[in-house]
Amino acid sequence: MILAIDVGNSRIKSAVFENDNLTELEVFANEDLQKKILKILKKYSEIDVLVVASVGKVDAEAFLFLENRVKVEWITHNSLFPFKNLYETPTTLGIDRMILASGAVLQYPNQNRLVIDAGTCITYDFINEGNEYIGGAISLGLQMRYKALHNYTAKLPLLQAKEPDTYIGNSTQESLHSGVVNGLVFEIEGFLSQYKKDYSKFTIILTGGDAVFLAKRLKNTIFANSNFLLESLNYTYQYKIKND
C-alpha cells in the first residue's frame, strides 16, 4: 500500500492507495502532519511507502520521524516523468504542475490534455498528444479573488464563495459574487475557446479544491476530479519504479 502526501500552500492532503484504488482521504493543517500520518500508519499497517510532493513550507526534515518505519519517496524536478518538458524555465515549473501533467499523460494517453487546477491559484497546463509539456497559465484562485477585493479596498466585505443568481448583481454582495465567480468562469471558458482554435480536440481535466464548485457552471465537457493530484502522485511513483 502507498500513502500519497500532497503538501500545498494552505493545507496537506493525503490518500491511501491499494492497487491504485483510493481507499481513504485526509485533509489537515501542517502542524498536524506527524499526528495524522502516525494515525494512518497505525490503521493501515500494510503501507510501506510514502510518496511526497511539496509546494508548501514542509520539507524533508518533517518526515525524519518515519525513517525507520517506511520508505519516504519525494517527487522532485529530478524524478522521472513520462513527458518532455518544453517549458522555457523548466526548473521554475511547480512540482505540483509537473505531477498533474504526469497524471494526465498516464491516465489519458495519446491525446492532447489540458489540466486546470482550481486551488489557491488557478493553473493551466497543456500537454500535447506527443507527450510534450508546452506550458500554460497561472491566475488568482477563487478564494484569493475574494480576499484581494476585501484586503485592497476600504469597505468591500470578505465573503465566502457563493453561486450568483445572475450576472447582474443587485447589491454589493451579489455584485462581488458575480464578479468573482462569473469572472473566473468566463476566464476558464475564454482559455478553452482559445485552445480550441489551435487544437481541434483535447481532454480537459479540472481538479483542485474548487473543482466541483466550478464544474457545474462550465459549459465544456470536462473530467472533474478533486483528487487528481493525489492520484497523479501515485501514478507518477508507479511509473518511476517501472522505468528506473
CA dihedral (172, 178, 181, 186) positive or negative: negative
Helix, strand or coil for residue 121?
A: strand
Q: Cell 482550481, residue? A: 118
- Report how far residue 211's alpha carbon sits from residue 95's, in angstroms, rounded to the nearest whole number: 20
**Grid coordinates given for 63:** 518526515
What is the amino acid identity at position 100? Answer: L
Label the pairing between strands 12-18 and 21-28. Answer: antiparallel
Q: How far apart are CA 183 and CA 111, in angstroms?
A: 29
Is 96 in the active site?
yes
Measured CA to CA, the distance from residue 192 to residue 164 in angstroms comes to 22
- Helix ranges (DSSP H) in 44-182: 95-107, 142-151, 172-177
How far is residue 115's CA from residue 126's CA, in Å, rounded to a whole number? 6
- Rounded to 5 degrees, what are φ and ψ at 67? -60, -25
CA distance 136 to 63: 32
Cα–Cα nearest to 122, from 80, 69, 185: 185
Q: Which of 96, 117, 125, 210 is catalytic?
A: 96
**Annotated catalytic sites, by residue?**
96
